[in-house]
Amino acid sequence: MYLTTDKLDPNRQNKVESFDQNLLEILPNDYLDFLRKFGTGGYCGEVYITYPDSQIIPSTFKDYTDLWELNNSYNAEDLLTSIQIGSTANGDIICVTEHKIGKIFILPRYSMEIIAFATFDDAIKSFITNEKAMIYFDPDFDRELEQISLIKSVGGLIDILPIHETFLQRFSYDFAANENTQPQYFFRKIGGWVTFDLVYKNSIYIKFQNQYCNEVLPITNFLKEYAE
């Protein structure tokens, strides 16, 4: 698995070990191992892996237990005792519950059918539909995100296409994703990426780690110059 940076959260292992013992007994071992090794962040642009949150699902869905088809495999009590451990780009919820230890559940946003997996690894990989896709992890440690708007103050848009073309000529990146829609170019030297919104054509996004603020300057200065 490719890491978008070599600067991971130095406290990631201590954070896991500080979890309540009862919580540690519920959480999947491969999920805990992932947090110890890499911390939290984005997996292949499809899954966002978080530290466990035991409050968000009960507080959000206590009055909406009919959003999914509940049964003996995952019932209303399971829902109201679920612990969220991640989410997806589509808004699906990844969770575990104290009454079904050893199972990882997906609460889909656009379906009523709850999906169960035996391992955390199987759960997150199920969202990678392209077998040839680059498997990567983008940690959120020390994260900074900057948006460059291409919306003119007097209306209209600055043309994103020549900016994109010149960017590709000037900068060498490590690898790219979503090249035909919203191309994302990864630079390990800044601990992040640059994304061109070629769908709406109104924004460019730069994600980097704050400790690389000097290294990212040539990229941000170039993009801002074109956006002015």
Which backbone phi and psi does 203 adopt, to 5 degrees?
A: -150, 155
**CA 163, chain centre distance (Å):** 26
Cβ(204)–Cβ(163) under 8 Å?
A: yes
Q: Residue 154's pLDDT is what?
A: 82
- pLDDT tens digit string along 32-48? 999 999 999 999 999 99
Sheet order of strands, 192-196 included = 143-149, 203-209, 192-196, 184-187, 175-177
Q: Residue 227's pLDDT is what?
A: 81
What is the helix, strand, coil percentage profile of the chain, to 5? Answer: 30, 30, 45
How many CB atoms within 10 Å of residue 119?
15
Q: Which pTM was predicted?
A: 0.94
Residues of the chain under the 70 pLDDT cut: none
**CA 139, chain centre distance (Å):** 8
List C-alpha distances in Å: 56 to 25, 82, 117, 128, 222.
20, 9, 21, 25, 41
Q: Residue 131's pLDDT is what?
A: 75
The token pair that represents 174 in the structure block? 């490590």
- pLDDT tens digit string along 99-136? 999 999 999 999 999 999 999 999 999 999 887 788 99
Considering Cα of 144, then 147, then 148, then 154, what sign does the dihedral take? negative
